[in-house]
A and B are shown apart, each in its own frame.
Chain A
Amino acid sequence: MSNDLRKFKDKFIEKIIFFCGILSIIFVILIFSFLFKEGIAFFKDFSPIKFIVGQFWYPASKPPQFGILSLIIGSIFVTAGACIIAVPIGIASALFISEVAPKGIRDILKSIVELMAAIPSVVIGFIGMVSLVPLVRSIFGIPTGLTAFSGSIVLAFMAMPTIVTISEDAIRSVPWQYKEGALALGATKWQTIRRIVLKAAMPGIIAAIMLGIGRVIGETMAVMMVTGNAAQIPHTIFEPVRTMTATIAAEMGETVKGGLHYRALFAIGLVLFSITFLVNFIADLFLGRGKKK
C-alpha cells in the first residue's frame, strides 16, 4: 500500500516537472501564434513592402502611413551603439574580475556587478533623462541630448551585468591546466590571457554578448525616456531616433482593439520577434561551432 503511494507520488512529481518544463515551450508557441495572427491580419490591408521600406510613421493621420524603416534603423542604431560600448568594457571587466583582481576586490566587484542587474530599467532611464541627456548635449554641442547615443549609453549599462557575469563564468571554467601549460612555456600573463584564456572561453563570451544584445533590443522604458522618439531616419548617432519597442509601448494603450493601427503595432512586434529570433539563432550557431572544436 505504502509502496503504491510512493509510486504514485513519484509519478505525480514527475508529471509536474514535465509540465513545468513543457510550459515555456507552450508559452512561446502561444505568443508567437498570437503575434502572427494579429500581425498577418495587418498585411491583408497594408502592403508588407510599404510597411518595411516606408519612411513615414503617421499612424493617426487620414490616411495613415505605416512606414517602419526609420523605426528599424532607430533600433539598430541604439543596439549597435550599446554593443560597441558594452562589449569591450564588459569583456575587459570580466577578465579583470576572474584573472587579474586579488581575491578581496574580486568578490566586491562581482557582487556590485550583480547588483547592477537588479536596478529597474525605469530607474536607469530616469537617471539618464535628468543627468545624462543634458551632459551629452553640452559635451557634444548638439541641439538636443535626447539621441541614439544617450540611448546606447543607458542600454550599455543594462547589458553590462549580463555580459560580465556570463563571460566571467566562461573564463573561469577554462581548465587551469591550459593556463599553467602556457605559463610554463614562458608566455607572459597577458599572452596567456589573450591567446589561451580568451580563445578557450570564446563560445561562452559570444553567448554572453548575444544575451546582452537580446536584452538591449527588447528594452523599452529606458530607451523611450532618452532617445527622443522622433520617427526620422538618423544620419549620425547624435540624432534622435524612435525604436520599435518604444513605438509599441507608447501607442498600444490608445489604439482601438482590432483596428488597423492596433494590428500595425502587432506587425512591428512580429518584425522585432524575427530579429531577436535571428540573433539567438546566430548565437546558437556560434556556440555549436565552438563545441565541435
Chain B
Amino acid sequence: MKNKYFLIFLLLIFIFVSCQRRKETTNSSDSIQIKGSDTIVNLVQVWAEKFVDGKNEISIGVTGGGSGTGFAALINKTCDIAMSSRKIEVEETNLAMDGAVFPFEFVVGYDGLAVLVNKNNPVEELTMAQLRDIFTGKITNWKELGGDDLKIVILSRESNSGTHMFFKEQVLRLGNVNAKDEFSPRSLLMPSSTAIFDEIEQNPHTIGYVGMGFASDLVKTIKVAQTKGQESVLPTVDNVLSWKYPISRPLYLYTDGDPKGLVKDFIDYALSDKGQKIVEETFFVPIKKGK
C-alpha cells in the first residue's frame, strides 16, 4: 500500500519537473514571446492557444503588464511581439531606433463602447464631459441634461472587467493617466453586459455602457460628442474606424521590423478570418466590417 503511494508521489514529482524543464527551453526559434497590454491579453491568449493547437514543436508565451511594459520589452529585445491598446509614442520610437529596433505596427481590432439609455428617455446625445459628470455622480437627475425629472441610475460592469477599466480611463479620467476619478459608489455593478442591457431595457432611470456588439433596437444608443459643439455620433463600425466616435481605441500588435517566419504566421493568423472571428467572440471590434 505504502509503496503504491510513494510511486504515485514520485510520478507527480517527475511530471512537475518535466513541466519546469519545458519552460526553460523556450528561447529557441520556434517559440514566440508576447508582452504588453492587459486589455487584450485574453484575446491574444486565445489566438495563441488556437494557433499552437496541434503543433507540439511551437510554444507561445503571453504575459500582460501594460502597453508600456510591452514596448519596453520590444525595445530590449526580450519579446517578439508587443501588444498595445495605444499607439507607440515618439519617444519610444526614437529609443527603439537607437537600439536598431524598428517597430512595425499592426491594427488587429478595435475596442469600442456604446452608451445606452432606456427607449423612453428623451436624451439623445451627450458630450464626454457630461458622461464623466454622470458616472462620477456629479449629475444625479436626467432633468439637468434636458430629460425627464428622474433620478439617474448608473449601471457599470464589475471592477475587474476590462470594459470597466477602459471606460474609467477614457471617460471618467478623459484619458489623463494621473487623474484619480472613480465611478460613483452609487453605481450598480452588474455581473454581465447582458444584465446591464436587460435593466436598461425596462427602466427609464438607467444609463450604462456595453461593448458595441451588444447595442440593439430595444434600447437607445446615445450619440457621443468629444466636446461641446462637435458633431455627436453613434458607435458604428464606420465611426470607430474613422476615429469619430470618442469611446473607442484600436488594438495593436508591434513587431521588430517586417515580421518573418513564425511571428509572421502568428500575425497572419490574427488578421485572418478565423483570428478576427475570435476578436468578435472576445467582445472587441474586428478590423473588417462583419455581418
Contact at A228–B182, with CB atoms within 8 Å?
no
Cα distance A148–B159 in the bound complex, in angstroms? 20
CB within 8 Å of A: which of B145-175?
A: 150-153, 158-161, 164-165
Contact B182 A137 (CB under 8 A): no
Contact present for B203 and A144 (CB under 8 Å): yes
Q: How far is the CA of A83 from the CA of B202 in the complex (A)?
A: 29
Query: With an 8 A cutoff between CB atoms, is B290 at the interface?
Result: no
In this assembly, does A255 line the interface, its C-beta being within 8 Å of a C-beta of chain B? Answer: yes
The bracket for how many chain A residues form the interface is 20 to 34
Q: How large is the interface on B (under 10, 10 to 19, 20 to 34, 35 or more residues)?
A: 20 to 34
Q: How far is the CA of A228 from the CA of B150 in the complex (A)?
A: 18
* Additional A-B contact list (7), CB under 8 Å, known A228-B188, A230-B186: A70-B185, A134-B202, A143-B150, A144-B199, A228-B190, A230-B189, A250-B189
Contacts of B199 in A (CB 8 A): 133, 144, 146
A-B contact pairs, 11 of them (CB 8 A): A55-B185, A137-B203, A143-B151, A145-B203, A146-B188, A224-B191, A229-B191, A230-B186, A230-B189, A250-B160, A251-B158
**Known contacts A129-B198, A144-B188, A250-B189; A255 and B160 CB within 8 A of each other:** yes
Tell me the smallest distance from the CB of A263 to a CB of chain B, in Å: 15
Which A residues touch B136, using CB under 8 A? none
Per the 8 Å Cβ criterion, residues 47-66 of A in contact with B are 55-56, 58-61
A253-B160 CB under 8 A given contacts A58-B182, A230-B185:
yes
Interface residue SS majority, chain A: loop
Quick check: B187 and A61 within 8 Å, CB to CB? no
The answer to whether B182 and A229 touch across the interface, beta carbons within 8 angstroms, is: no
Q: Interface code B232-263, partner A: CB below 8 Å = 1, 0 otherwise?
A: 00000000000000000000000000000000
Partner of A144 from B160, B185, B205 at Cβ < 8 Å: B205
A143 engages B205 (CB within 8 Å): yes
B100 at the A interface (CB under 8 A): no
Contact partners of B187 in chain A: CB under 8 A: 230
Q: Which residues of B contact A225 (CB under 8 A)?
A: 191, 195
Using Cβ atoms and an 8 Å threshold, which residues of chain B touch A255? 160
List 10 A-B pairs, minimum CB-CB distance, nearest first. A254-B160, A228-B188, A229-B189, A143-B151, A143-B205, A60-B159, A232-B185, A144-B153, A230-B188, A250-B158
User: How near does chain A come to B225, taking the closest CB pair, in angstroms?
Assistant: 26
The answer to whether the Cβ of A30 comes within 8 Å of any Cβ in the partner chain is no
Min CB–CB distance A147 → chain B (angstroms): 10
Q: Do A129 and B158 form a contact, CB below 8 Å, given A58-B182, A229-B188?
A: no
Closest to B160 in A: A254
Which residues in B have some Cβ–Cβ distance to A below 8 Å?
Answer: 150-153, 158-161, 164-165, 182, 185-191, 195, 198-199, 202-203, 205-206
Cβ distance A282 to chain B, nearest Cβ, rounded Å? 32
Q: Least Cβ distance of B229 to chain A in Å?
A: 31
Within 8 A of B (CB), among A208-266: 224-225, 228-232, 240, 242, 250-251, 253-255
What chain B residues lie within 8 Å of A55 (beta carbons)?
Answer: 185
A232/B186 contact (C-beta < 8 A), A134-B202, A143-B205, A144-B206 known: yes
Q: What's the nearest-Cβ distance from chain B to residue A261, in Å?
A: 8
CB-defined contacts of A231 to chain B, threshold 8 Å: 185, 189
Cβ-closest chain A residue relative to B183: A58
What does the 1/0 interface line of A124-153 toward B look like (CB < 8 Å)?
A: 000001100110010000011110000000
Bound: A279/B73 CA distance, A = 53
CB distance from B69 to the nearest CB of A (A): 15
User: In the complex the two chains form, what is the Cα distance from A70 to B189 in whole Å?
Assistant: 14
Once A129-B195, A129-B198 are accepted as A-B contacts, the answer to whether A60 and B203 lie under 8 Å apart by CB is no
**Residues from chain B with Cβ under 8 Å of A232 in the complex:** 185-186
Nearest CB in chain B to that of A147: its residue: B188
Closest chain B CB from A15 CB (angstroms):
13
Check B182 against A61 for contact (C-beta < 8 Å): yes
In the assembled complex, the Cα of A59 lies from the Cα of B183 at a distance in Å of 12
Least CB distance, B164 to chain A, in whole angstroms: 8
Interfacial chain A residues near B164, Cβ < 8 Å: 60
Please, how many angstroms separate the alpha-carbon atoms of A61 and B160 in the complex? 10
Which residues of B have CB within 8 Å of A56? 185
CA distance A37 to B186 in the complex (A): 33
- Residues of A contacting B160 in the complex (Cβ-Cβ under 8 angstroms): 59-60, 250-251, 253-255
Known: A59-B159, A225-B191. A130 touches B198 (CB 8 A): yes
**B198 neighbours in A (Cβ, 8 Å):** 129-130
Nearest A-chain residue to B190, judged by Cβ: A229
Chain B positions within 8 Å of A230 at CB level: 185-189
A230 and B153 CA atoms in complex are apart in Å by: 11
CA distance A194 to B19 in the complex (A): 69
Q: How far is the CA of A52 from the CA of B174 in the complex (A)?
A: 32
A60 CA / B157 CA spacing, docked (Å): 12
